């Protein structure tokens, strides 16, 4: 323990959507001394790091923003249907300026450890720069897909060309001009990147292990009429995003697939395809829960691939998909399948030949050597828990978070973990997080945490932590919610941690729906923070109501999951 440290009421890790809003509420509403520690050199979180070619948000811009302030909402106008990283960073900069947040953010400050000190009920944080901070409340806003996953393919260190991971993309311009590029990965990122890389690459080789469904994004500049429309309808838009299961600004149909004829279905799917975007999965209520219903959507999308891609073998490699549509996070794209009609693009089907190693000048597969000047890893993330484990987080009695979560994360409502008092995790594991439009999930968490801390201060409570019983029951319910969907049927999904070698296979986000989740969080508060143990120095009385009053039964029947 050091004698030299900075001490504040609250520290937030991360200066993305979560960190900025949490700083505002704690500093400006509760008057707490608050600071944000951020590893990057500027605002943005996910959007600070993800600058890869073609990067774009898949939530529509008018819903991918804060809604806590009507004034802020109406002062900002988005230029395109789906914003890119620069425009999102500009937006966050606008919010930071408006709320004068920058003075309380310390950039270039990577937190390496956070230990709970029992004697003072404080968290002590150390940074890579060797600084030490203490705070009563520690809040993580570290994002869910922020820890890059670079597969352990033999030989990478010998490669003499350039290589990049999309999630750590250089700030300087990367030129693909006349270069032979190998892109590994065809998730949402790879599907966005390939068409843009192919525009200037000498040749692009796309290494595909698992083919993917994709629906056109149909991105476009927004008209002045549209901008005026969303500003005028702020209240209605907010009401919709806060009441849907996935936080998106559209309602999921209440019609089931087999309530309509084949002709009606084809018309409905075609209409959704033409409209573009993630709402394709909202065409019918049961697409994400009923395999046979899902098959009809899957078949429609596979046929689209076969229609677009001219080379029959390539089309089959792209369209032979053996898992349900939206079973993994469904990408949306701009000309992804069309890209394979270009002469300078080839698909390497890793179901037919696999990567053996990276050589000095290319990739060796079981069939051939492919010479390359650049390798791009669009290989995803150690999602949801990865960033936590990059820090040495220790709670009561020096127990580490890594140890506590070694068989999978165990939280209550994704907000707190037993044994880690006053540690609040925005969009933590076990909350809807990645299954929800992120800013909607973030606002709800920030506001819940703010009210909880306000309650603690008003009632002279020193520590709040989830009870073991509550966490155990919640983990059970998170599994139950996932099992009601087709999400658990995809063995290679990052929702399950299956993309990272050695990671336990546990479904991490809460699939029961943001609307249901919001109600459960409110219910816990109404029941005197049921499931949370509140302690004061002078008394050790636990929260008056324990979980027996807290009813998950209402949450049992999941008909419209939040995906």
Residues interacting with ligand N01, by CB under 6 A? 56-58, 145, 151, 184-190, 192, 207, 209-210, 329, 350, 378-381, 434, 492, 494, 499
**DSSP label at 541?**
P
Task: Estimate to the nearest angstrom the gap between the alpha carbon of 330 and the chain centroid.
Answer: 13
Supply the minimum distance, in Å, between the C-beta of residue 116 and ligand N01.
31
CA nearest to 428, candidates 44, 18, 11:
18
Supply the minimum distance, in Å, between the C-beta of residue 545 and ligand N01.
36
Quick one: 276 or 531, whose CB is closer to ligand N01? 276
Quick one: 109 or 379, whose CB is closer to ligand N01? 379
Supply the minimum distance, in Å, between the C-beta of residue 283 and ligand N01.
20
The set of residues, in sequence order, having a beta carbon less than 8 Å from that of 465 and lying 6+ positions away, is 416, 417, 418, 419, 420, 421, 422, 423, 532, 533
Supply the minimum distance, in Å, between the C-beta of residue 541 and ligand N01.
42
Quick one: 305 or 464, whose CB is closer to ligand N01? 305
What is the CA angle 83-88-90, rounded to 5? 125
Supply the minimum distance, in Å, between the C-beta of residue 209 and ligand N01.
4
Quick one: 421 or 509, whose CB is closer to ligand N01? 509
Q: Which helix (H) or strand (E) holds 219?
A: none
Supply the minimum distance, in Å, between the C-beta of residue 211 and ligand N01.
9
CA distance 177 to 191: 20
Query: 6-13 and 362-365 as β-strands: parallel, antiparallel, unpaired?
Result: unpaired
Quick one: 10 or 65, whose CB is closer to ligand N01? 65
How many CB atoms lie under 10 A from the CB of residue 130?
A: 8
As beta bridge partners, residue 8 has 135
Supply the minimum distance, in Å, between the C-beta of residue 499 and ligand N01.
5
CA distance 420 to 128: 22
Query: 111-117 and 122-127 as β-strands: parallel, antiparallel, unpaired?
Result: antiparallel
Whether residue 192 contacts residue 212, with contact meaning beta carbons closer than 8 Å, is answered with no
Quick one: 138 or 193, whose CB is closer to ligand N01? 193
Cα 148 to Cα 104, 164, 166, 366, 386: the distances in Å are: 27, 11, 8, 26, 9
CA distance 177 to 198: 9
Quick one: 34 or 493, whose CB is closer to ligand N01? 493
Ordered DSSP codes for 239-306: HHHTTSTTS-SSPPP---GGGS-HHHHHHHHHHHHHH-SGGGGGSSTTTTT-HHHHHHHHHHHHHHHH
Quick one: 417 or 499, whose CB is closer to ligand N01? 499
Quick one: 218 or 455, whose CB is closer to ligand N01? 218
Whether residue 241 contacts residue 523, with contact meaning beta carbons closer than 8 Å, is answered with no
Quick one: 132 or 498, whose CB is closer to ligand N01? 498
Q: First vs last Cα of the chain: how many Å apart?
A: 45
Supply the minimum distance, in Å, between the C-beta of residue 297 and ligand N01.
18
Quick one: 151 or 504, whose CB is closer to ligand N01? 151
Supply the minimum distance, in Å, between the C-beta of residue 144 and ligand N01.
8
- The 3-class secondary structure across 42-98, one letter per residue, is CCCCHHHHCCCCCCCCCCCHHHCCCCCCHHHHHHCCCCECCCCHHHHHHHHHHHHHH
As beta bridge partners, residue 184 has 207, 377
Quick one: 334 or 379, whose CB is closer to ligand N01? 379
* Tokens 């590994």 found at: 184
Supply the minimum distance, in Å, between the C-beta of residue 460 and ligand N01.
41
Quick one: 169 or 412, whose CB is closer to ligand N01? 169
Quick one: 132 or 350, whose CB is closer to ligand N01? 350
Task: At 390, give phi and psi (nearest 5°).
Answer: -75, -15
Supply the minimum distance, in Å, between the C-beta of residue 190 and ligand N01.
5
Task: At 286, give phi and psi (nearest 5°).
Answer: -105, 15
How many CB atoms lie under 10 A from the CB of residue 209?
A: 16
Supply the minimum distance, in Å, between the C-beta of residue 347 and ligand N01.
12
Supply the minimum distance, in Å, between the C-beta of residue 288 and ligand N01.
15
H helical segments located in 155-233 = 188-200, 224-232
Quick one: 384 or 456, whose CB is closer to ligand N01? 384
Supply the minimum distance, in Å, between the C-beta of residue 349 and ligand N01.
11
Dihedral class, residue 44 (left if φ above 0, else alpha if ψ from -120 to 50, else beta): left
Supply the minimum distance, in Å, between the C-beta of residue 302 and ligand N01.
17
């Amino acid at each position: 323990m050091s004698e030299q440290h900075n001490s504040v009421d609250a520290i937030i890790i991360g200066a993305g959507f979560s960190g900025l809003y949490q700083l505002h509420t704690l500093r400006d509403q509760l008057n707490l001394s608050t600071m944000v520690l951020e590893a990057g050199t500027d605002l943005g979180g996910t959007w600070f790091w993800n600058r890869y070619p073609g990067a774009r948000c898949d939530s529509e811009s008018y819903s991918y923003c804060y809604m806590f302030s009507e004034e802020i909402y109406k002062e900002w106008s988005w230029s395109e249907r789906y914003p890119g990283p620069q425009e999102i960073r500009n937006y966050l900069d606008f919010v930071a300026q408006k709320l004068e947040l920058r003075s309380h953010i310390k950039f270039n400050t990577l937190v390496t450890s956070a230990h709970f000190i029992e004697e003072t009920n404080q968290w002590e944080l150390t940074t890579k720069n060797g600084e030490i901070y203490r705070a009563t409340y520690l809040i993580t806003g570290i994002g869910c897909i922020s820890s890059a996953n670079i597969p352990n393919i033999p030989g990478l260190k010998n490669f003499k060309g350039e290589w990049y991971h999309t999630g750590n993309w250089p700030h300087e311009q990367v030129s693909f001009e006349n270069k032979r590029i190998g892109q590994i990965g065809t998730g949402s990122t790879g599907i966005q990147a390939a068409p843009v890389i192919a525009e200037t690459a000498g040749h692009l080789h796309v290494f595909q292990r698992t083919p993917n469904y994709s629906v056109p994004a149909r991105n476009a500049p927004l008209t002045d009429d549209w901008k005026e429309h969303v500003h005028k309808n702020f209240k209605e838009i907010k009401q919709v995003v806060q009441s849907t299961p996935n936080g998106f600004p559209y309602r999921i149909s209440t019609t089931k697939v087999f309530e309509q004829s084949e002709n009606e279905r084809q018309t409905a799917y075609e209409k959704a395809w033409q409209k573009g975007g993630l709402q394709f999965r909202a065409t019918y209520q049961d697409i994400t829960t009923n395999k046979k219903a899902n098959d009809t959507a899957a078949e429609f999308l596979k046929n689209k691939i076969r229609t677009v891609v001219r080379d029959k073998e390539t089309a089959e490699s792209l369209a032979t998909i053996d898992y349900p549509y939206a079973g993994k996070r469904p990408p949306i794209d701009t000309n992804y399948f069309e890209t394979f009609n270009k002469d300078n693009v080839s698909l390497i089907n890793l179901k037919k030949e696999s990567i053996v190693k990276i050589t000095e000048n290319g990739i060796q597969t079981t069939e051939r050597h492919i010479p390359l000047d650049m390798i791009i890893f669009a290989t995803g993330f150690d999602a949801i828990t990865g960033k936590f484990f990059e820090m040495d987080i220790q709670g009561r009695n020096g127990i580490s978070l890594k140890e506590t979560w070694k068989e999978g994360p165990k939280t209550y409502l994704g907000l707190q973990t037993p044994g880690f008092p006053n540690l609040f995790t925005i969009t933590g594991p076990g909350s809807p997080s990645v299954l929800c439009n992120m800013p909607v999930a973030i606002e709800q968490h920030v506001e819940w945490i703010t009210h909880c801390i306000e309650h603690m201060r008003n009632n002279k409570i020193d520590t709040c932590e989830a009870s073991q019983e509550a966490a155990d029951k919640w983990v059970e319910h998170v599994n139950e919610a996932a099992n009601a969907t087709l999400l658990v049927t995809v063995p290679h999904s990052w929702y399950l941690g299956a993309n990272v070698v050695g990671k336990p296979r546990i479904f991490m986000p809460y699939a029961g729906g943001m609307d249901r989740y919001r109600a459960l969080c409110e219910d816990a508060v109404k029941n005197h923070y049921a499931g949370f143990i509140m302690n004061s120095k002078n008394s050790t009385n636990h929260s008056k109501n324990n979980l027996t009053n807290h009813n998950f039964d209402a949450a049992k029947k999941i008909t419209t999951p939040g995906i």
